[in-house]
A and B are shown apart, each in its own frame.
Chain A
């Protein structure tokens, strides 16, 4: 099985430096592309590959890039931005790529920026990722020294500079327009859309924002072609993806698998199944903003489309396992604490609604809830439905709450009826 994204990553070892990366074929795609192949052709390959954004949405990367105006239409600086703010609870895939193979990301940036004709790139890395920031900064300086970045790259006339921006911490910085505000030195509140960043992004200039993992796919797609990439997938999906499992499984970790691999297969065969004495009760398939799935639904292929068809989201693809000895109400209360704390405060349903949800859940958890609370929780989640808030944070927060209320209804009622948590 091919594992293009992680083939250079060896556990507990320093990542490849420039020479080692080049020795295994690294930067070949850059050497063969920059100044030799027309940017529109590069873009076409990415469109044909069917690559979907790995930041959680799965939006087709090629189509996003096609929305960028040409340099003739919009002279001046164009930006290509890497979203390395990874802060979605339960998600640990981008850190693996940042620390495991920094040059793969740099190579991906050069090719992506070239395809959209951007001349300036920022890598926005969350401030807590100290090691990643150091390693990526080092890789950028190695690439600069080798003439792979900077002015007139490889004599092609193409210019690209990269600046690594270490964030100062807030989940909302990961929302792409909030990220742009943060890069401009402002509070990270989302912007209203339209205009999309491709039309008016960083400092009002045409801008693409892509997730780390999305960008890391690009060198392989350019080197091996769209058909090769498409064939990596299973069950109608394309490419590979870094999936992961955390919680009480035998081998929690990140696994690069074909897109479309059944969830069950990953949990049983890669994560080793549940630890002795624990049963799987439900799964949050891709971080805190996705809805619960029950054990009987785990034969679903892990792809954006298959999850959307079930009314759920694949999200970041890193699954959190709820076992039979953890209180589901406590877990949902923990998730809502996160969202309430990280709400940027810009719009009322989210700013005022989430703290109320958190308080109500905590009261139910310790046995001080009322049956009416359950209807109120259902009602309030309507006020945070998609389209009713400024960004997707609040609807994301509602995903686990709504599925939780329906799947664990008897647990909620039991807490309220008995006036205590059966797990404490």
Chain B
């Protein structure tokens, strides 16, 4: 569920305190905290970034430097479900480009885009450690392997 984008909830503040307790200095928890608050908002807006920076005693640019470095922290809105399709070597060899094309056709988006209804975003990802079932993708938190167009048509049917 999506909650007010730029306000931290009490539950979140409590969870943040718990994460910070795992480290000797607060800023060390910043990646865990960004992931936590992103879970409820899909992405890290400027406002929420500033709020997290304030809570952890970091400057905004210090935190943004971290936020923009990592692949799984989104600084732009993404869809409800992010589809991460592996583009590394074995998946490439086993036909990931064809799979990408079926997904793009079915969802009428290009790589990196979000569907008009905000349901899906398609992004490339490095090897998912599922190479013995290549080509593979993560749909949200679910790992799916041995992809072929039949599977794609079932999981992500044409609208």
Using a CB–CB cutoff of 8 Å, the interface residues on chain A facing chain B are 77, 86-92, 94-95, 127-131, 163, 165-171, 182-188, 203, 244-248, 252-254, 284, 288, 318, 320, 322-323, 326, 330-331, 334-335, 337-338, 341-342
Contacts and interface: CB of A to CB of B under 8 A. Distances in A.
Interface of B: 22-25, 27-32, 34-35, 56, 65-66, 69-73, 84, 87-90, 92-94, 125-134, 138, 141, 143
Contacts of A184: 25, 27-28
A185 B31 contact: yes
Contact of B70 (A88, A168, A252, A254): A168
Contact of A338 (B65, B89, B93): B89
A335 B89 contact: yes
Contacts of B134: 246, 252
Nearest to B26: A185
A338 B84 contact: no
A90 B126 contact: no
26 contacts: A87-B129, A88-B127, A90-B88, A91-B131, A92-B131, A95-B129, A128-B84, A128-B138, A163-B22, A165-B31, A165-B32, A167-B31, A168-B73, A169-B71, A169-B72, A182-B31, A185-B29, A185-B56, A185-B66, A247-B94, A252-B132, A254-B132, A320-B131, A331-B92, A334-B87, A337-B87
B26 to A, nearest CB: 9
Contacts of B127: 87-91, 288
Nearest to B29: A185
Given A92-B130, A128-B138, A130-B141, A166 B32 contact: yes
Shortest beta-carbon contacts, A-B, top 4: A169-B71, A168-B70, A246-B131, A89-B88
Contacts of B71: 168-170
A318 B131 contact: yes
B90 A320 contact: yes
A91 B31 contact: no
B96 to A, nearest CB: 10
Contacts of B89: 89-90, 284, 288, 320, 331, 334-335, 338
B6 to A, nearest CB: 21
Given A87-B127, A203-B25, A331-B89, A127 B72 contact: yes
Contact of A90 (B29, B34, B84, B131): B131
A192 to B, nearest CB: 19
Nearest to A169: B71
Given A165-B32, A252-B132, A320-B131, A89 B70 contact: no
B132 A92 contact: yes
Contact of B34 (A92, A168, A170, A203): A168
A47 B65 CA distance: 41
B70 A171 contact: no
Contacts of B132: 92, 244-246, 252-254
B82 to A, nearest CB: 11
Contacts of A77: 24
Contact of B129 (A129, A186, A342): A129
Nearest to B130: A92
Interface centre among B24, B90, B127 (most CB of A within 10 A): B90
A168 B129 contact: no
A129 B130 CA distance: 11
A137 to B, nearest CB: 12
A83 to B, nearest CB: 14
Given A185-B29, A338-B126, A252 B72 contact: no
Interface centre among B70, B72, B127 (most CB of A within 10 A): B127
A128 B126 CA distance: 10
Contacts of B72: 127-128, 167-169
Contacts of A318: 131
Interface centre among A86, A129, A167, A246 (most CB of B within 10 A): A246
Given A169-B70, A186-B66, A203-B25, 15 more contacts: A92-B131, A95-B130, A128-B125, A129-B129, A131-B141, A166-B32, A170-B70, A183-B28, A184-B25, A187-B65, A246-B90, A252-B132, A254-B132, A284-B89, A320-B90
